[in-house]
Chains A and B, each alone.
Chain A
Amino acid sequence: QSVLTQPPSVSAAPGQKVTISCSGSSSNIGNNYVSWYQHLPGTAPKLLIYENNKRPSGIPDRFSGSKSGTSATLGITGLQTGDEADYYCGTWDSSLSAGVFGGGTKLTVL
């Protein structure tokens, strides 16, 4: 069981929008920044969002992040088939003194 909770899968049609939720607690999401990662099998994970809602250079503005209390959300608009991947939320847990990830969400672009 992961410390952070994500839905196992989401799906939407090309061009549509999708959101992926990430739920935690006060010791992790509630008091630390959340980041989001895109992971394609056989490749290195890629940072999409850091500090809750900031995008690294080169990440299109179709990707957005938000946080409220002990939950965070990744939004992807204008879905493309190339967006099909596993998406993970992550943060630091101050009580565990450990990094924590969600279980991952598989995005299917129908």
Chain B
Amino acid sequence: QVQLVESGGGVVQPGGSPRLSCAASGFSFSNHGMHWVRQAPGKGLEWVAFIWYDGSNKYYADSVKGRFTISRDNSKNTLFLQMNSLRPEDTAVYYCAKDPHYYSSGTFDSWGQGTLVTVSS
């Protein structure tokens, strides 16, 4: 079965640069686009970024554009989110999610359990 396991969260100072990872198994990772979605405390789901199956196209929410970078290593079935210039409003649980297609259909058919990033001094 599909399994997505995020890691890399924790407490980070404002301006910090953590990198989140998402280890994927149970499906052909290199054939699927992948998303990052976050949920701030007490708030709803917010889409963060998407990467095509081969890494050739990437899309970002305006709130993170220029600060976050999504990438993937298909040889290691792993998705990444490099987060730079973190702000308190980036505090959230970050989920990786699988798209059923190689492009973005805006559908998230499997999700990880999430990793909490807390931006605080």
**Measuring CB to CB, which residues of chain A are less than 8 angstroms from any residue of chain B?**
2, 32-33, 35, 37, 39, 43-47, 50-51, 56, 86, 88, 90-93, 97-104
Annotate B77-111 by CB proximity to A: 1 below 8 A, 0 otherwise: 00000000000000000010100100011111111
- The 3 closest A-B CB pairs, nearest first, are A92-B106, A99-B47, A104-B44
Q: A110 CA to B59 CA in the complex, in Å?
A: 41
Annotate B36-52 by CB proximity to A: 1 below 8 A, 0 otherwise: 01000000111100100
Interface presence of B113 (CB below 8 A): yes
- Hey, which chain B residues are within 8 Å of A39, CB to CB? 45
CB atoms of A88 and B107 under 8 A apart:
no
CB atoms of B95 and A50 under 8 A apart:
no
- Hey, which chain A residues are within 8 Å of B112, CB to CB? 44
CB atoms of A43 and B113 under 8 A apart:
yes
Instruction: Indicate which residue in B47, B108, B113 contacts A98 across the interface (CB closer than 8 Å).
Output: B47
Query: A85: shortest Cβ distance to chain B, in Å?
Result: 13
Q: A92 CA to B112 CA in the complex, in Å?
A: 20
CB atoms of B44 and A102 under 8 A apart:
yes
Task: Take A45-B45, A50-B100, A101-B47 as given contacts and tell me if A37 and B59 are in contact as well, using a CB distance cutoff of 8 Å.
Answer: no
Q: A87 CA to B47 CA in the complex, in Å?
A: 15
CB atoms of A32 and B113 under 8 A apart:
no
CB atoms of B37 and A47 under 8 A apart:
no
List 6 extra interface pairs beyond A2-B44, A37-B108, A45-B97, CB under 8 A.
A32-B105, A35-B107, A44-B114, A46-B111, A101-B46, A104-B45
CB atoms of B106 and A35 under 8 A apart:
yes
CB atoms of B100 and A44 under 8 A apart:
no
Interface presence of B61 (CB below 8 A): yes
Q: A51 CA to B95 CA in the complex, in Å?
A: 22
CB atoms of A44 and B111 under 8 A apart:
yes
> Looking across the interface, which residue of chain A has its beta carbon closest to that of B44?
A104
Instruction: Indicate which residue in B35, B47, B105, B110 contacts A33 across the interface (CB closer than 8 Å).
Output: B105
